[in-house]
Structure 1
Amino acid sequence: MKKLGLHQLRKMFLEFFQEKGHLAAKSFPLVPKDDKSLLLINAGMAPLKPYFSGAKEPPRKRMTTCQKCVRTGDIDNVGKTDRHATFFEMLGNFSFGDYFKIEAIRWAWEFMTERMEVSKEDLWVSVYKDDEEAYKIWNEQIGVPSKRIVKLGKEDNFWELETGPCGPCSEIYIDRGEEYTCGSPTCKPGCECDRYVEVWNLVFTQFEKDDRGNYTPLPNPNIDTGMGLERLAAVMNGADNIFEIEPISTILNEVEKLSGVKYGESKKDDMSIRVITDHLRAITFLVSDGVIPSNEGRGYVLRRLIRRASRHGKLLGIKDNFLYNMVKLVIDNWKEEYQELEEREVQISKIIKIEEEKFEETIDQGLNILKEYIKELTDKKLDKLDGIKAFKLYDTYGFPLDLTKEILEEEGLSIDESAFNEEMEKQRDRARKARGDSDDNGWKIEENLSSIIGTETYFKGYDKLSLETETLMIIKENEVSEELKEGEEGIIILKETPFYGESGGQIGDHGIVYNNCGKGIVKDTKKISDDKILHFVVMKNGKIGNNEKVVASVDNKKRYSIARNHSATHLLHKALKEVIGEHVNQAGSLVTDERLRFDFTHFQGLEIKEIEQIEKIVNDKIFESLEVLVLEKTLEEAKEMGATALFDEKYGDKVRTIKIGDFSMELCGGTHVNNTSEIGMFKILSESGIASGIRRIEAITGYKVYEYINDMENKALQLAELLKTNRENIVSRAKTLNQENKTLEKEIERLKMKLASSKTQDIIDSAYEVKGIKVIANRVDGMDINGLRQLGDQIKDKMGSVLIVLGTGKDNKVNFIATATQDLVKQGIHCGNIVREVAKVTHGGGGGRPNMAQAGGKDSSKIDEALSKVKGLVNNQLKI
């Protein structure tokens, strides 16, 4: 066998099948495209499913790939065994109705025996027990002796889903030798021991399975093969596992260097080293392919991997955040095949660094509390943590449930997940009640209307803002009515309408409907199921009846302002991608005549320079007077043109594509300007976070920007007057006053510290003893948290051995600090636990390390009561 590295094996495999007429395609991203059934790409054939199903025409009927894959089902086992991994590369060759079994088998054998130079005597194969065709090819044409062909059942050698294409498999095994055997005389492929390693699975997709379990032969059967690159490399190099092969071992060696822990000396440490080594590749590739940490979906997978690797770093003694620095090691070793890694290096490192820092904020406090829970369970000889306590860890301290489970499992303990889930559901109920039931009422109205309305409205508002039409139905108080009279409110359904019904983030049009008999004000328009458009009307005068001719006219000024803002969202979306990265995707929007709101996926707040750059790009495109074209395309045509589509949106066969010059192209059903110059100007008002991994920009366009500039001018004049300067000198005057203010604040703090120092002896004299140790619990008003810490340090320096708890309060804002000398910590004193209980009395909370902690509260009237608890808390902690 040839001893070859990962990159050599990958290259040889792809080149081999190129020689056999295959198109060697680049690996698809880990995020599936147009496939909502998968969270992440987990097999070589996954991104090729449309070619197998016939939904798309493949670029060639023979293809070969080395596909990036992530499998999440075994995350908890990664590190515990030598075999499990989250990230891996899958080699594969595929035939879409071209060649079949004989070629697939012959080429697999040729590659293994001639290119890889594996001894024929070391190769075994398995076939499906009823697949005589494959058996004969292996035995009679390839020459594999029958004793090295194993027939296995459906569970091992038949690939199928509930319904759809399926077929038998044939697997190739390498015999690693008798030193790996279990010793059984029947040991062969299929045995649980490590002697026979399956390296290549050949799937012969030759049947269509229906919902009754019938198998119908396919007229054009397919070939789908898969071979794990890392596993192949391990076997070829005589390694026991993938962690011993280059360049994966390079990552492992770096973990050893960072931690000072040697691999192979401790099972517990080895697990942590393997976790970091594996997860580092996964998180690097996931971020590179546009995944950002969040609390759901693939973002949660990434967050979990980062946090798991980070915790195992701490278990190895790595104190600082380290993963983001190790990213470069992965990039340097895989960039030749995956150039996108190097292109996105800064972004990858930044995203991982931010997530590590977020975890750092929660991990220490959560671990201390969990340790207390574990001690309590051990003392009481219990083996299951209360789900309510686990939920408190999750809800109050941001400690992930899966991490709690993993730590408990390491101690031989478990968790009451049912109780945890009950608490989670209670929290969701509280959130729903807090939001109120207005949304639910809206859905009820729509459900009622849907059962009444049996027709659809034809929207003509892209081209016309006024037209003559006919009333099809009038609804008043949720009942069908014959007419709407002066002063009454109701819903009118029109045969044709120029009114855009609220949908896709764009608000509905306003305007009027009228005829000779009456006039109604359209105060809102909504689009509901089956393209029904509802006009919410208040009758101004006269009456409008059912089946009458009317004129429907949209408020032109309002519509035009909405169009400006909607076209601006498209420019903004593209500008965001250019400035902060292709990982940006729309996560929601609201387009009104007043302003626009755009939610997008991103991992941190934007810097001022980034906001300025985004704003400039949008305005540049406005000033370039780009033509805005509306194209009607099939969904596939639009995507092939490069149009951006929302992942969760449902689209019909024909889609409306908005093309803005050569800058932006998105699928969109909203209304737009004809030229970007009509937007006028664009101004970002705010940028903020609204959820984990989701940011929001609010902005204005057109006349609203003019109003905004005037308002800013007026405020500048008022500010100049207050600062007693002219408008041009506002900034320099403000800087001068700010510096003067800082100087005065420093003087005030100096005087406070001087006053506090003068009271230091009084505070020291207030010390009392608890079981032989000195304790101070004192209230010191007029200080901030920094002043309390400094005062605590001064007292410790003077007393040598002491526990100090100080409290201060102002305007119902309470601060506490607790600090103890190291000798008391060794006796059992834990400042974090003491200060947490003290703060609870003032309706607050906090915590920290055994030797230093701080907390806050809300009720300053209870500070003295809180400090009086210290004596009892110390008494309970001392181990005497």
Structure 2
Amino acid sequence: MDYMKVSEIRKKFLDYFKSKEHFVDKSYSLVPENDKSLLLINAGMAPLKNYFMGIETPPSKRMATCQKCMRTGDIENVGKTARHATFFEMLGNFSFGDYFKKEAIEWAWEFTTKELGLNEEELWVTVYEEDDEAFEIWENHIKVPKEKIVRLGKDDNFWEIGTGTGPCGPCSEIYIDRGKGFGCDDPNCKPGCDCDRFLEFWNLVFTQFDKDESGNYNLLPNPNIDTGMGLERIACIMQGVESIFDIDTMKNLINKVAQMSNQEYGKDNKKDISMRVIADHARAVTFLISDGVIPSNEGRGYVIRRLIRRAIRHGKLLGMEDMFLWKLVDTVVENYKDAYEELTEKQEYIEKILKIEEEKFEETLDQGITILNGYIERYKNENKMILNGDEAFKLYDTYGFPLELTLEILIENGMTVDEEGFKNAMKSQRERARAARNEKGVEGWKNDMSGLELSVQTTIFNGYDTLYENTQINDIIKDSSLVNEINEGEDAILVFEKTPFYAESGGQVGDRGYIKGNNFEAIVEDVKKSPNGLFMHNIRMTSGTLKKGDKAELLVDKTLRGATQRNHTATHLLHKALKEVVGEHINQAGSLVNENRLRFDFNHFEGVTAEQIKEIEKIVNRVIYEGHRVNVETMSIEEAKQIGAVALFGEKYDSVVRVVSVEGYSTELCGGTHVQNSSDIGMFKILSESGIASGVRRIEAITGENVYKYLLEKEELLTEVKSTLKCNEDMVVPKINQIIDEHKEAIKALSKLKSESAMSRLDDMIKNAQEIKGIKYISDTFENIEDEILRKTAEQIINKVENSVVLFSNIIDAEKVSFVCMVSGLAQAQGVHAGNLIKEVAKITGGGGGGRPNMAQAGGKDSSKVPNAMDESVNILASQIK
């Protein structure tokens, strides 16, 4: 067995299965596509579920991948054990109804013994206890001695979906014997024993059954193969090390952390744990950001924020005071760029995101740790070991401490936290960072029409070249069932072998238009794609009867398509202009293109300035006016990348792609429809720029005739403004400023009058004060007075009357009331509390509020109950006085 680097093992695996006629696909994104059952991809087969379920057709019946995966369920063990990591790579070969057990076992053994050179004498295998077929293949075909083939039960060697129903099957695993030094004292020790002697490194799953609701295991007509071999685990074997943190890629990261922190790895166990945590988390967050995940307080964003903050905290334990995490991105990229070239392309962006997040957390980290240490000291002095949930929430809410980080620090001090109390304090449980399966979502792989026997399997789209097609109606779907005909007034879905109608995808909406036949007419309201690529035409019958097999004319609405095309090509120009003006890190995070406007979402951590918006508009319009040809070519994905075509995050690309180029300006992979020349767009105008999520901005814009309509509307508005102000266009702004100034002066004068009016009542209010148990009680009701004036008036009374309580109500309208209360020092000493008093009074009017003992404010909702509230205030006050 020769030493092999991680990169060498990865390449050798993929090359081997390529030689076995497997389609070698690149790793899918860590963010699942069209799969709500997962937060993040956590297994090699996860992105291929639709292929296994038969919902989508795979690019080949044989596939092999090295898949990026994330699991954070055991995050507290990362750095402490030899095998726990958040990010890992899973090698896998898959068969979708093609080869089965014999080939899967044969190739796994051949790769293990011949390609990797592992010693057959050290290898053991396990099979499911009832799988005689697999046992026979291992013994008689592969020639593994039967004493080294171990039968294990269902818990160990049978794979089922979490729900308990659906595809499932027995497993067979390959183990390596690490020697007696890792084992127990049992002379019969073998795979299945709890000791560390036998290490499993490759799992072969034979998906041959479909388990029904009654618990029956029905044979699948086309059984599948799903294998998984952890790249880091096999690297440990090939490099002769015990821990995944000692393999070449992780060792390089740990050495960098040691250098940056001026520590020596291997000298101090606690510091070693911190270095391993930082190395693991740096790798994980680099890949997450590369796949479009950005820090936030929910979902995937919470996973990455938690990892970043956990790493920063361990940096503090190593004495690293300056920002450091972003500096490790370069080492991650250097180790993985050969397999994941997108890391190099996005390195600058990844570093920028990490810098911003580190800066945010640095502002509060030290303060939060000081407060938590104070809690720990106080609790230990009081012999308490469970931190109050409210205090844990304060750390989260004020200092950005994830509950897990608080818990981790507490555990290090022999304490824990009241997690239920924490959740109650938050009032709603936030989605926890668990890279785990949402069991209820598994059935989401299927859809309402997946079981229909349609007469066509794929749709040919010819709408790039024509807006008309004369064809035959192949299938009619109504209420998720196949029917033979539909009548006037009914809605349905039509399927054709060929269509000029564009189906919604890539942010572009589906075409609308008409379908006509000899005996019917229908409106096409929308077109969508099924998971398997069929174009589903949503129609409404306007006249006649439509039957399966009828001839039909398909006509796309030319005006709507043209407007949509203008907006789509404009998004390409906008994307490029954003990169030029704002920065190359800008990447599309979503879009919507219809006939009315375009919406473009992109990753960026601050608002685009007004000056930048002007510059972007100027650039896009310049390209429009210059009249650049728009070229469309099909080529391999590799060729497209060589010419610099921009691929969009979240989009799935085949090996042959469509490249849209605005000649001399932008080049993107795109399946949408576009204008033939940039001048066809006419004009471009940005309507708004806003933030829609943490680190995601949105621009909305219009083109063509919609810009003309927009300008007409603005012109009409300006005409109306001029008429109202009775001035010329050049005097509109000065006139408005004059009115604003006059309005401010009028407000100031009115406020003064109101204040003087309130003050003029001051002596009368004091004179008419009620005496309640020795305290002067002054109350009054006002209408539409600023609360600030009422506070000043109440303050004047308190200063004049030594032992007093003041309560004012202020009726704003029928459904809005405000209250102001002030209490002198002597009255407070007798038990009067302004906050408690005003709270009870406000309740009577359907409101609430509170405040300090000396001053409080409240609001109410029913002004008709103010007299009752003010009368009752006397009794409430009396009940407080000691």
TM-score bracket, shorter-length normalisation: 0.5 to 0.7
Match of 1:143 in 2: 143
Q: Superposed, which structure 2 residues align to 1:120-199 within 5 Å?
A: 120-161=120-161, 162-199=164-201
The question of whether the paired residues in 1 share the 8 Å contact of 2:191 and 2:198 is answered with yes
The question of whether the paired residues in 1 share the 8 Å contact of 2:169 and 2:208 is answered with yes
1:262 to 254, 264, 273: 264
Change (3 A) 1:665 1:278: closer
1:345 to 344, 347, 353: 347
Could you tell me how far 1:558 is from its partner in structure 2?
A: 15
Match of 1:302 in 2: 304
Change (3 A) 1:100 1:608: same
Match of 1:94 in 2: 94
Match of 2:388 in 1: 386
Could you tell me how far 1:698 is from its partner in structure 2?
A: 5.6
The question of whether the paired residues in 2 share the 8 Å contact of 1:644 and 1:667 is answered with no
Match of 1:757 in 2: none
Match of 2:5 in 1: 5
The question of whether the paired residues in 2 share the 8 Å contact of 1:126 and 1:150 is answered with yes
Write the distance in 1 (CA, Å) between the matches of 2:362 and 2:84. 27
The question of whether the paired residues in 2 share the 8 Å contact of 1:386 and 1:415 is answered with yes
Could you tell me how far 1:6 is from its partner in structure 2?
A: 0.7
Match of 2:51 in 1: 51
Could you tell me how far 1:52 is from its partner in structure 2?
A: 1.9
Change (3 A) 1:114 1:391: same
3-state SS in 1 of match to 2:127: strand
Could you tell me how far 1:717 is from its partner in structure 2?
A: 7.2
Q: Superposed, which structure 2 residues align to 1:322-401 within 5 Å?
A: 322-401=324-403
Write the distance in 1 (CA, Å) between the matches of 2:330 and 2:728. 49
Could you tell me how far 1:686 is from its partner in structure 2?
A: 5.7
TM-score after normalising by structure 2: 0.59
Write the distance in 2 (CA, Å) between the matches of 1:263 and 1:366. 28
Write the distance in 2 (CA, Å) between the matches of 1:565 and 1:23. 37
Change (3 A) 1:76 1:604: farther
Match of 1:73 in 2: 73
Identity among equivalent pairs (%): 57
Q: Superposed, which structure 2 residues align to 1:620-769 within 5 Å?
A: 620=622, 622-623=624-625, 680-684=682-686, 687-697=689-699, 702-703=707-708, 704=710
Q: Superposed, which structure 2 residues align to 1:771-810 within 5 Å?
A: none
Write the distance in 2 (CA, Å) between the matches of 1:372 and 1:379. 11
Write the distance in 2 (CA, Å) between the matches of 1:36 and 1:65. 22
2:204 to 193, 202, 205: 202
3-state SS in 1 of match to 2:396: helix
Write the distance in 1 (CA, Å) between the matches of 2:115 and 2:728. 77
1:114-135 per-position Cα deviation (integer Å, ceiling 9, x unaligned): 2222111100111111101111
Structure 2 counterpart of 1:179, one-letter code = G
The question of whether the paired residues in 2 share the 8 Å contact of 1:63 and 1:94 is answered with yes
The question of whether the paired residues in 1 share the 8 Å contact of 2:281 and 2:311 is answered with yes
Change (3 A) 1:427 1:155: closer
Match of 1:33 in 2: 33
Could you tell me how far 1:607 is from its partner in structure 2?
A: 6.5
Match of 2:322 in 1: 320
Q: Superposed, which structure 2 residues align to 1:141-540 within 5 Å?
A: 141-161=141-161, 162-425=164-427
What is the alpha-carbon root mean square deviation over aligned residues? 4.9
Match of 1:551 in 2: none
The question of whether the paired residues in 2 share the 8 Å contact of 1:289 and 1:583 is answered with no
Write the distance in 1 (CA, Å) between the matches of 2:137 and 2:599. 63
Structure 2 counterpart of 1:317, one-letter code = G
Change (3 A) 1:385 1:590: farther
Write the distance in 2 (CA, Å) between the matches of 1:64 and 1:560. 42
3-state SS in 1 of match to 2:156: helix
Unpaired runs of 5+ in structure 1? 429-462, 464-492, 496-503, 507-529, 534-556, 630-641, 649-656, 723-857, 863-880
3-state SS in 2 of match to 1:247: helix
1:225-268 per-position Cα deviation (integer Å, ceiling 9, x unaligned): 11111111111222010111112201111111111222222222
Write the distance in 1 (CA, Å) between the matches of 2:429 and 2:125. 54
TM-score after normalising by structure 1: 0.59
Could you tell me how far 1:389 is from its partner in structure 2?
A: 1.5
Write the distance in 2 (CA, Å) between the matches of 1:159 and 1:427. 32
Task: Find out whether 1:107 has 2:107 as its counterpart.
Answer: yes
1:37-65 per-position Cα deviation (integer Å, ceiling 9, x unaligned): 22222222222222222223222222222
Match of 1:470 in 2: none
The question of whether the paired residues in 2 share the 8 Å contact of 1:291 and 1:299 is answered with yes
Change (3 A) 1:135 1:700: closer
Write the distance in 2 (CA, Å) between the matches of 1:179 and 1:559. 72
The question of whether the paired residues in 2 share the 8 Å contact of 1:290 and 1:582 is answered with no
Structure 2 counterpart of 1:382, one-letter code = K
Change (3 A) 1:398 1:706: farther
Write the distance in 2 (CA, Å) between the matches of 1:86 and 1:77. 10
The question of whether the paired residues in 2 share the 8 Å contact of 1:158 and 1:167 is answered with yes
Write the distance in 1 (CA, Å) between the matches of 2:394 and 2:734. 52
1:688-711 per-position Cα deviation (integer Å, ceiling 9, x unaligned): 445422324465762446887999
Change (3 A) 1:350 1:427: same
Change (3 A) 1:426 1:8: closer
3-state SS in 1 of match to 2:93: strand
Could you tell me how far 1:412 is from its partner in structure 2?
A: 1.9
Write the distance in 1 (CA, Å) between the matches of 2:565 and 2:27. 40
Structure 1 counterpart of 2:684, one-letter code = F
Change (3 A) 1:685 1:200: same
Match of 2:837 in 1: none
Aligned residues between the structures: 594
Structure 2 counterpart of 1:346, one-letter code = E
Could you tell me how far 1:187 is from its partner in structure 2?
A: 2.3
Greater relative contact order structure (CA < 8 Å, 6+ sep): 2
Write the distance in 2 (CA, Å) between the matches of 1:617 and 1:204. 57
Change (3 A) 1:229 1:565: closer
Bigger mean CA offset, 356-365 vs 695-704: 695-704
1:29-87 per-position Cα deviation (integer Å, ceiling 9, x unaligned): 22222323222222222222222222232222222222221122222221121210111
Write the distance in 1 (CA, Å) between the matches of 2:268 and 2:424. 39
Write the distance in 2 (CA, Å) between the matches of 1:200 and 1:421. 40
1:793-841 per-position Cα deviation (integer Å, ceiling 9, x unaligned): xxxxxxxxxxxxxxxxxxxxxxxxxxxxxxxxxxxxxxxxxxxxxxxxx
Change (3 A) 1:232 1:609: farther
The question of whether the paired residues in 1 share the 8 Å contact of 2:591 and 2:598 is answered with no
Could you tell me how far 1:624 is from its partner in structure 2?
A: 6.3
Could you tell me how far 1:28 is from its partner in structure 2?
A: 1.9
Write the distance in 2 (CA, Å) between the matches of 1:587 and 1:392. 35
Write the distance in 1 (CA, Å) between the matches of 2:218 and 2:228. 24
Could you tell me how far 1:682 is from its partner in structure 2?
A: 3.3
Write the distance in 2 (CA, Å) between the matches of 1:270 and 1:385. 28
The question of whether the paired residues in 1 share the 8 Å contact of 2:389 and 2:418 is answered with yes
Write the distance in 2 (CA, Å) between the matches of 1:337 and 1:243. 20
Bigger mean CA offset, 563-572 vs 288-297: 563-572
The question of whether the paired residues in 1 share the 8 Å contact of 2:578 and 2:586 is answered with no
